[in-house]
Amino acid sequence: MATIAGLSPALAQTPLQGGFARPLDAEARIVRHPERAAILAVASAGSRHVAVGERGLILLSDDDGRSWRQSKSPVSVTLTDVTFVGEQLGWAVGHSGIVLHTADGGQSWIKQADGAQLARLALEEADRLIAGGSPAGAAVKRSSQGLVDDGPDKPLLGVSFGSATVGVVVGAYGLAFMTRDGGKTWQSLLGLIDNPTGQHLNAVAVNGRTTLIAGEQGLVLKSNDGLGTFERLPSPYRGSLFAAALLPSGHAVVGGIKGNLFVSETTDSPWKKVDLAVPSAVTAISGATNGVALVATQAGVVYRLLPDQGIVETVPSVRRPMMTAVSMTANGSFIIGSLYGLVRSASGEPQNNKP
């Protein structure tokens, strides 16, 4: 989820050290029980799992989620998403437009960009559009100037990389940027996305040359050229979408409020609705093994989605309120992230809810 209401006990019980510093400039504090903090995303880096959450926390587990240790984080802004390509290369994004990068499996992290830098890039891109006679130039200029004037106050909400070099980050008020060099430089996508009202972009998935973005008011965008040229897809639903995934099988999956979950055989195929047993907001979708996707909901229910058959199976042994993330380990267990921390659960036997 994009924002956190209040402060988890894990951090509330830890006193501030030293004087005041901007969260973008202050390292995350070391806390006694980081696994109890609000967690917003979990990703696998080979056999390791990496979780991110409130106040810049980054956690690592090398035993399938049985124990967690805190990694040193260069910021104390809330981190909203994390992704890895292989075992070593990872990126995390969060509030104030922060982009972090690791090249050692999450052991150490550096800043690659923040909201102020990204705003300046957007403004420079707008000037190029105007100079080139683009009809979108004036609108992009207004939006970009607003980003510069406001300062780095807008969160990035999603990050995905299709390779070690090509990735996309998205966020509130239509923020969208692309890199082709692993995050060393970024290109604004504001002039390439059909989002004139600046709707929030909540999730992004990149697989090869294909990028899928899901957002506010049912907004779904895709790019198949690997160059950041996007088109708006017919929306399967007019409510907000919070999660998106591109599966190895080629299926696209998006989910949002009230348990609305949709599957498409490809990004060019019609969307098909998949009914969930408990109609609660879909907060995370991740690929598992054998073409199966895992779906987490705000109500604390995890589902296995078989996209070819349009079947969802409830995982009965997995329960955690206010889920934000789900990941499967090599032995079939689940790692669950939530606003109440991290838990590990056996997979259990699925129950087929909807034939």
18 within a domain of the structure (yes/no)? no
What pTM was computed for the model? 0.90
> What is the structure's pLDDT at 307?
85
> What is the structure's pLDDT at 5?
35
Mean pLDDT of 71-76: 97
Predicted confidence (pLDDT) per residue in 120-149, tens digit: 999 999 999 899 998 888 988 998 999 999
Q: Tell me: pLDDT of 174 over 70.
A: yes
> What is the structure's pLDDT at 14?
39
208 within a domain of the structure (yes/no)? yes
349 within a domain of the structure (yes/no)? no
Number of domains observed in the structure of the chain: 1
In the chain, % of residues over pLDDT 70: 91
Mean pLDDT of 91-96: 98
Q: Tell me: pLDDT of 290 over 80.
A: no
Q: Tell me: pLDDT of 91 over 90.
A: yes
Phi, psi (rounded to 5 degrees) for 281: -55, 130
CATH number at residue 113: 2.130.10.10
> What is the structure's pLDDT at 266?
82
351 within a domain of the structure (yes/no)? no
Predicted confidence (pLDDT) per residue in 340-353, tens digit: 999 998 755 444 43
17 within a domain of the structure (yes/no)? no
Mean pLDDT of 250-260: 94
27 within a domain of the structure (yes/no)? no
Grade residue 19 by pLDDT with cuts at 50, 70 and 90: low
Q: Tell me: pLDDT of 317 over 70.
A: no
Q: Domain span at residue 139?
A: 34-343
77 within a domain of the structure (yes/no)? yes
Grade residue 318 by pLDDT with cuts at 50, 70 and 90: low
**Average pLDDT of the chain to the nearest whole number:** 89
318 within a domain of the structure (yes/no)? yes
